Amino acid sequence: MKTGFFLPNLGPAATPDNLVHVARQAEDLGLNSVWVTDRLLMPTKPSVPFRGSPDGVYPDAYRSSLDPLATLAFVAASTSRITLGTSILNINYHNPFVIGRTLTTIDVISRGRLSLGVGIGWHPDEFTAAGVAMRTRGRRADEFLRALQAIWTHNPVSFDGEFFQLPESSILPKPVQHPHPPLLLAVNSDAALHRAVRLDCGIHPANPSATELADLTHRYRQLLKDIGRDPSSAQIVVRAEFRVTAEPITGDRPVFHGSLDQVTADIDGMRAGGATEIIFDPTYFVDSVEEFTEHIKFFADQNDT
């Protein structure tokens, strides 16, 4: 099982020097990957509560956000080996032909190090800002990924869909990675799991318990087997939003929260549940780069390969 770490592209720690510092430290310590997230805005009067916290309050980190793809392009120039990933890119806010060029550029200038984690989006205010109807997000996401794969693997290429059209065109260069960079789909429903299988994507669950991951892995691999694909090669990349505490947490403990021993036990549960990689995200619980990097070495030591 591989390990990765998030870059500080959200919140007060999101500065050029800090991005380079975290990326180089992660690479020097032998981590497999560094990741960025995608947040379009911080609503002052949100139409829905934040679904990632029990009280619905939005994280302070949302108040400041660097563009994820520009951040990866910047970090690519300061690193040489480490994978550069998105966790996740909200694809419904983008056009696949326009952003496809940006993604290809990152893969080319990094010499084949891009890994693309994507999601369909969940915030109504962001859909409003992007000018996209939320009710069509599932169909639109399916079509986005088919269009992206088309421009990555064919030349010339044309596309005629419900949401996206491309007259026959020559689109070069292609990504360095063949047939294209790894695609990971955020999954929190059966529909998303079937979408991942249908569109040849790995899966990217966030903060699952060991039991939840084992069940998800079993269903995903069975679906792959049902269509004749080798389930042993599937990517199952877990996002772990962690918080390390000085003392163990008793009672109802969120996964990846607690003492180092408790977090280690959670990591062991992910390994047993079939995770091929865990990427550790401190974004919502830290304010400084010192806090951000405090535990990188600990998580690097969890790397199996």
Q: Determine which of 74-83, 161-170, 191-200 has the lowest per-residue pLDDT on average.
A: 191-200
The domains of the chain, with CATH numbers, are: 2-300 (3.20.20.30)
Beta strand 157-160 with 165-169: parallel, antiparallel or unpaired? antiparallel
pLDDT in tens, 111-157: 999 999 999 999 999 999 999 999 999 999 999 999 999 999 999 99
With cut-offs at 50, 70 and 90, classify the pLDDT of residue 75: very high
Q: Work out the pLDDT band at 180, boundaries 50, 70, 90.
A: very high
pLDDT score of 287: 81
pLDDT of residue 305: 56
Q: What tokens were used for 126?
A: 């962001």
**Out of 79-83, 166-170, 196-200, least confident range:** 196-200
More confident residue, 284 or 21: 21
Q: Is the pLDDT score of 239 beyond 60?
A: yes
Identify the CA nearest to 142 among candidates 204, 197, 216, 99.
197
Does the structure show a pLDDT above 90 at 298?
A: no
Alpha helices in the chain (DSSP H): 16-28, 68-76, 96-109, 124-130, 137-153, 190-198, 210-226, 260-273, 289-293, 296-300
